[in-house]
Every structure is written in C-alpha cells, then in structure tokens.
Structure 1
Amino acid sequence: MFNDGAFAQITKRDKRDAMLINLVHGEPIRFGVDNERGVAMDSSGRIELVDVVDVGVENLLVHDETADDPSVAFAISRLATAPTMPTPVGVFRAVERTEYAAAVSDQVDAVTASQGAGTLEGLFASRPTWTVS
C-alpha cells in the first residue's frame, strides 16, 4: 500500500524529466528537461549532481552496468535518499559470474579429483580433533 502521490515526483509529467535519471549503459548520466543536469564524481570519489554547462559533458560519469566493482552502482542507487533528489531507474548492474552453488560444486569436484573421494571413517580419524568437556 502506498500513500496517494508518494511517487508524484517521478510520475507527474511536469516533474518527471527533472526528477528521473534514466540509466543507459555507455552513456553519460544526464537528466533534466533538456538534459541540463548530470552526475559526476568529485575529487574525493563521491557522486555529485552538477550542471552540465559548468562541468562539460566529458566530465560526467559514464554509466557502466558491467563494472566488476559495485561501488559506483551503489552510490548511484543512493541518490534518491530525499524527496528533492532525482531517482535513478534502469539497469544498475549486469555482471555475469559463476553461481555460488556451481562454484562450490566445482571446488568439491577439484578436491575430489586431486585427493580422492574420502570416507567418513577417514574423516573421523583425521586431525585436528578436539574434546568437548
């Protein structure tokens, strides 16, 4: 359940362009009625909202949804922390990685291939052991 008008900043036609950031892979992150605003990274590595005329398009952050490091995508996702801040939408990250279960299975297979299957008896007789008192 949502309050009536809770998303008016990004759904109303007269406000949408100014308050919605459409993320497009490989393009500078811009928004605003005439794309006059943008997202840049300051000298300390923080995301900031800028006027394109002040910094130039070449200094805007280019969206890379395939970046291995998730920190920039996370920072972009945090832009809409206040009602007066624009809301980014689109694909934040699209990375291909081995599924965790498949990676564990591959690791077990590699150890089994190099050391053998092992037995429960061998596990009980192995070191280190401890005593619970």
Structure 2
Amino acid sequence: MDEKELLIKYIESENECEWIDFKEKFYVIKHKKDDFIKDIVSFANNLKAKDKYIIFGVEDENHGICGISTDTIPDISILENLLVEKVEPQITISLGSFFIYNKLIAFIKIPYNNENRPYIIKNECGAVKQGDIYIRKGIHQCQSN
C-alpha cells in the first residue's frame, strides 16, 4: 500500500488518534505559528513506532473531504526553518499532497524515525513557552495498517 492509499484509508476510517489528525485548513503560519509547532512537537514526542500524519482538507466535524486551495500550502522550507528556530533537537518532516474526488488533500508527515526525544520548545512562540514539552495521546483507537 502506497502512502496515498494509506492516507485515503485513514480518511475513510474517520478516526483521529495518536498518529492521525484531520484539519479543515492548513495552518496560517504567518499568524498562528504556535499551533503548528505544538502539533508537530506533540506528534514527534509520541512513542508509537508509526509515521504520524496531519491531514488537511478534511472537515472537523464529520470528517468529510472538503479539500484545500494550493495557495494555502507554504513551501516546506518555511515550515522546516520555523521548527529549527523554535524546537530542539531538530525534527524531520515532509509535506505532500494528492487529489481525491477532484479535491486537494495536503499532509504533513512526521516520520517515526524522529528518535531524539524529548523535543522541547527552545524559543517562545505565542502560547508555546520555552521549555514546554508536548505529546499527542489518542483518545480513539486507529486501526493499525
């Protein structure tokens, strides 16, 4: 199963958990850097030996596919530079997208091979304070692939 098929399976399951998060819209990095940083650090600190995904273009309430606009997806270098500036040690992420039902889905992948835990906020950014550590814990069970 390739990554696109895996993400479609996650979307169709409609379950968020400790390694999957759905968002209707991409982060507005210009105004809300702290939400992005907190989410990435939370996933990177999770001990589950799986890749973690934040999937954009999925409605918050019913998990329907709404898609996003290409102009809302920043260049990966902006996201990586922000993480280097605000978090230690360095977290590796990747950014991708695909179409389903003629709608654009984007995703951030936080690979399980980020093993330098704990990831800590090194510079304050909005609601996240220097020294903070976040971890994502799921309240729902996702099916393992």
TM-score range, shorter chain: under 0.3
Query: What TM-score do the two structures reach when normalised by structure 2?
Result: 0.22
Q: Which has the higher contact order (CA 8 A, sep 6+)?
A: 2
Structure ranking higher in helix proportion: 1
Of structures 1 and 2, the larger Rg is shown by 1
Structure ranking higher in strand proportion: 2
Query: What TM-score do the two structures reach when normalised by structure 1?
Result: 0.23
